[in-house]
Amino acid sequence: MSARREPPGAATCLFLSCLLIACGPADPFGTAEPFQVRGGQFFKGALPTASVDAPAVTFLSMQNAVVLPGQAAKRLSARANTATSSLALALSDSGTGYWVVPLGPEDPQYVGEFTVESSIDFGLSLAEGPHLIRAVPIDEQHRAGAEAQTSVCVASRIPDNQHVCNPDAVVPDAVISLQWDSRSDVDLVVTTPEGREVSPKRPTVVPTDTRPTAEAAVIDRDSVFACQEDGLRQEDLVFQNRPVGAFRVAASLFDLCQAPGVRFRLRVFEAEGEGAERHLVEKDSFVGQFTPIEATGGLTAPVLITTWTF
């Protein structure tokens, strides 16, 4: 008898519990959001809309409006009046919700106004170009006041001299970009038509005894150097002036950093257009992978990916 009674009771309880659990928020911590406010509380959904006049944002600003790809801990400063209890923050056209931060102490220079100093992390997945940071003041009765905004611009992940944020900046003529998908020390290695090997250890195309100019092609970083995560996992050889000749493009696995393997993608970009309309266009891309046996600390020759002729 008892055996026949158990399944319905267990099944009913399991069903109800699954239902209750499933009603919970998908991500109460906002860990997958491309716009994150440190110390803030994440809420899923649209920013509250203004319903009262009393709470108000009196100041909203970022110190530097240009956001580098994946940049973290950018400072946002704000002030709000005494009727405000907290500030709701969101990035326009990005993310699935907003963040709430409580107000800090009263600003001694602006009596009756309370400060908010927040650190903001911008995800790598954010689209390049201009965005708006939206701030909505909320009072102790959870009512929202009028929205304030400040603009930011997310720079391109492919180095373009920040042309996407400043049209007056001149786009480089060509870029060879290597990206990979795990925390591994991978290096881009390019051999020039003159036979000079360029890598993060020797990042410029000019000979060692020559002082490189600002226009000299250079590899922009040594990504995941010594297995130190930099969030980008990307190295770019940037040509400010158009190169000529055949370049042998290779990749070297220095250290897998305990990853089981790493897949990479090489892309070649060349500038097209004139003036403000000039921009980088992807000409070709190549994919490949490294296995643990290929992690040799740079002792073996780099793996040739392509020979690219400009």
Partner 1 sequence: MMVAALTALLSGSVFAQVEDVDGGASSGEVDAGEARVLPAERGPSLFTSITDGLAVTGYAQAQYEMHQDSVEQLRQGSNVLNQDRFLLRRGRVRVTGTWEYAQIVLEVDGNTTRAPVFGFRKAEVSLKWRASTDPGALALMLTGGLFDVPFGAELVESPRYRPFMERSLASRALFPGEPDLGVRLSLSWSFLRLTAAVVNGEPIDEPSAFTLRDANKGKDIVFRAGVDTKPTEHLHVTGGLSGLTGWGFHAGSDVSKGYVEWRDLNEDGQVQQYELTPVVAASVDPSVSFARWATAIDAAVSLDWRWGTTSLSGELVLATNLDRGFLPADPTVLSVDARELGWHVRLIHEFQKWAVIGVRFDQYNPSIDFFDNRKGKLIGSVQTVSTVSPLIGFKVPHGRLYLQYDVIVDRLARGTDGVPSDLRNDTFTARLQVDL
For 149, phi and psi rounded to 5 degrees?
-140, 155
Nearer to partner 1, 139 or 255 (CB): 139
- What value does the CA radius of gyration of the chain take, rounded to a whole number of Å? 26
Minimum separation from the CB atom of position 299 to partner 1 (A)? 30
Could you give the string, one character per residue 235-264, with x where binding to partner 1 holds by CB under 8 A and - elsewhere?
------------------------------
Given the complex with partner 1, which of 20 and 293 has the nearer CB atom?
Answer: 20
Q: Phi and psi of 266, rounded to 5°? A: -105, 130
Q: Residue 155 in contact with residue 171, Cβ under 8 Å?
A: no
Q: Per CB under 8 A, does 101 bind partner 1?
A: yes
The minimum distance between CB 308 and partner 1, in angstroms, equals 28
- Find the binder of partner 1 among 13, 127, 287, 304 (CB under 8 A): 13
Give yes or no for residue 32 binding partner 1 (CB under 8 A).
yes
- By CB under 8 A, residue 123 contacts partner 1: no
Q: Can residue 38 be called a binding residue for partner 1 (CB under 8 A)? A: no
Select 105 or 275, whichever has its Cβ closest to partner 1: 105
Question: 20-32 burial by CB neighbour count: b if 16+ within 10 A, else e?
Answer: eeeeeeeeeebee
| C-beta of residue 251 within 8 angstroms of C-beta of residue 200 | no
The reply on whether position 148 binds partner 1 by CB under 8 A is: no
DSSP-derived secondary structure for 84-140: --EEEEEETT-SSEEEEEE--SBPTTSTTEEEEEEEEEE-TTSPSEEEEEEEEEE-T
CA distance readout (Å), 276 to 73, 173, 180: 31, 14, 31
CA–CA distance, 152 with 73 (Å, rounded to integer)? 14
Question: How far is Cα 205 from Cα 191, in angstroms, rounded to an integer?
Answer: 9
Question: Smallest gap, in angstroms, from Cβ of residue 251 to partner 1?
Answer: 25
User: Does 229 help bind partner 1 (rule: CB under 8 A)?
Assistant: no
Token pair belonging to 99: 């963040």
Residue 274, amino acid:
E
- Sole binder of partner 1 in the list 64, 149, 241, 300 (CB under 8 A): 64
Q: How many residues bind partner 1 (CB under 8 A)?
A: 47
Say whether residue 8 binds partner 1 (CB under 8 A).
no
Residue 49 within binding range of partner 1, rule CB under 8 A: no
Among 54, 117, 142, 304, binds partner 1 (CB under 8 A): 142
Confirm if 199 and 223 have CB atoms less than 8 A apart. Answer: no
Binding test (CB under 8 A) with partner 1, winner from 4, 20, 208, 214? 20
Q: Least separation, in Å, of the C-beta of 296 and partner 1?
A: 26
| Residue 88 lies near partner 1 (rule: CB under 8 A) | yes
The yes or no reply on residue 184 touching partner 1 (CB under 8 A) is: no
- With binding defined as CB under 8 A, does residue 268 bind partner 1? no
| 269 to 18, 104, 136, 177, 265: CA distances (angstroms) | 50, 47, 41, 8, 13
Judged by CB under 8 A, which stretch of 85-93, 234-242, 259-267, 287-295 contacts partner 1? Answer: 85-93
Strand, helix or coil for residue 43: strand
Q: Name the residues that contact partner 1, by CB under 8 A.
A: 2, 5-6, 9-10, 13-14, 17-18, 20-21, 24-29, 31-32, 40-41, 43, 48, 63-64, 66, 68, 71, 74-75, 85-88, 100-106, 114, 138-142
